[in-house]
Amino acid sequence: MKKVLICAFVLLIGVAFFLCSAPQAQAGPIKLTYSNFFPPTHIQSKLAEAWCREVEKRTNGRVRIEYYPGQTLTKARQCYDGVVSGMSDIGFSVLAYTRGRFPVMSAVDLPLGYTSGRVATQIANAVYRKFKPKELMDTQVMYLHAHGPGILHTKDKPVRKLEDLKGMKMRGHGTSALVLKALGATPVPKPMPELYQMLQKGVVEGALYPYEVNKGWRMAEVVKYATGSYAAAYTTTFFVVMNKNKWNALPSDIQKIIMDINEEWINKHGAAWDTSDIDGVRALLENGGQIIGLDKKEAARWRKAVAPIADKYVADAKKKGIANAQEIVDFIRDMLAKLSK
């Protein structure tokens, strides 16, 4: 009898140990969702998906990420709020799609004569790290990046001087809309996924965007001209952010792995913007398009026309409580001058 009791006791201990350990064994990997508005074939979308796979690889499968490109989980304008609310765990979209919400970071997009995606991407991350804007504190920022020079593209009418733009309806959002207005055009604020049909149907006559859009979004099929308006070139800042609660719930070693990957991906995105700009130029020319240059005198006119945008940004930002708005703009200008040499 005593022997039976001992066996039963041992069995009970074994069952208790199994019950305690079973949930841990069955917990499985941490599952996250990632929303992106870029189509799956776009280089920026491919980089985002590669980031997901790299996280899975370096965490040895402890993290699994379901990737949703092409606005299949949240729309471009909804993406940031979607991360905050938990509709997606990670999101990648454009800060300027929510105009006025990111006053510090919007300084990066000003038409200061950007020269490359590499430079713009470095500046975007430097501004975030130096000024630590409160506007992004409701998410965990993975990293930021920004495209190369945003210049003018038109469907049927070549633009060789400022007067040619007067009254033209052009797609633009955020800073690009301000640039268009300063140059004499009428901006129509719509997100990039809608532009192709807008041009095709004649809703707009052109748009401001970097060369890469000609291939990445197939715009070379519906525009004929690009005007090299580099003196007034702006950029657009993109975010990759994670839901703060999901981030805080991750083990510290996984957080470190992700942050290390983020640093690598900053450079990858910057380089990809520049490579895809070259592809976009090629796509435009192969489709019979034409690139129109501006001489120094005309370029100076364009630069002068958009100059008040930065001044207005500083004045408006100060009204919103950003006392160091001028410092932010000066910081960007200094970095741009140094990095563009």
CATH number for the domain that contains residue 185: 3.40.190.170
Please check whether residue 23 lies inside any domain of the structure: no
Examine residue 36 and state whether it is found in any structural domain, yes or no: no
Provide the residue range defining the domain that includes 204: 151-235+286-339
Q: Looking at the domain assignment, is residue 229 inside a domain?
A: yes
- Full 3-state SS string of the chain: CHHHHHHHHHHHHHHHHHHHHHHHHHCCCEEEEEEECCCCCCHHHHHHHHHHHHHHHHCCCCEEEEEECCCCCCCHHHHHHHHHHCCCCEEEEEHHHCCCCCCCHHHHHCCCCCCCHHHHHHHHHHHHHHHCCHHHCCEEEEEEEECCCEEEEECCCCCCCHHHHCCCEEECCHHHHHHHHHHCCEEECCCHHHHHHHHHCCCCCEEEECCCHHHHCCHHHCCCEEECCHHHCECCEEEEEEEHHHHHHCCHHHHHHHHHHHHHHHHHHHHHHHHHHHHHHHHHHHCCCEEECCCHHHHHHHHHHHHHHHHHHHHHHHHCCCCCHHHHHHHHHHHHHHHCC
Question: What is the dihedral sign for C-alpha 120, 126, 131, 134?
Answer: positive
Within a domain: 13? no
Do the domain assignments include residue 7? no
Residue 254: Cβ-neighbour burial (10 angstroms; 0-12, 13-18, 19+): middle
Q: What spatial distance separates the first Cα and last Cα of the chain, rounded to whole Å?
A: 90
Q: Tell me, yes or no, whether 204 lies in a domain.
A: yes
**Does residue 142 sit within a domain?**
no
How many distinct structural domains can be found in the chain?
A: 1
The predicted pLDDT at position 69 comes to 98
Amino acid residing at 328: I
Determine the pLDDT at residue 10. Answer: 40
- Is residue 1 in some structural domain? no
Could you report the average pLDDT of every consecutive run of 10 residues in the chain (341 residues)?
A: 44 43 61 97 96 98 98 96 97 90 96 96 98 97 97 97 96 91 95 94 97 96 97 96 98 98 98 97 98 96 97 96 97 95 79
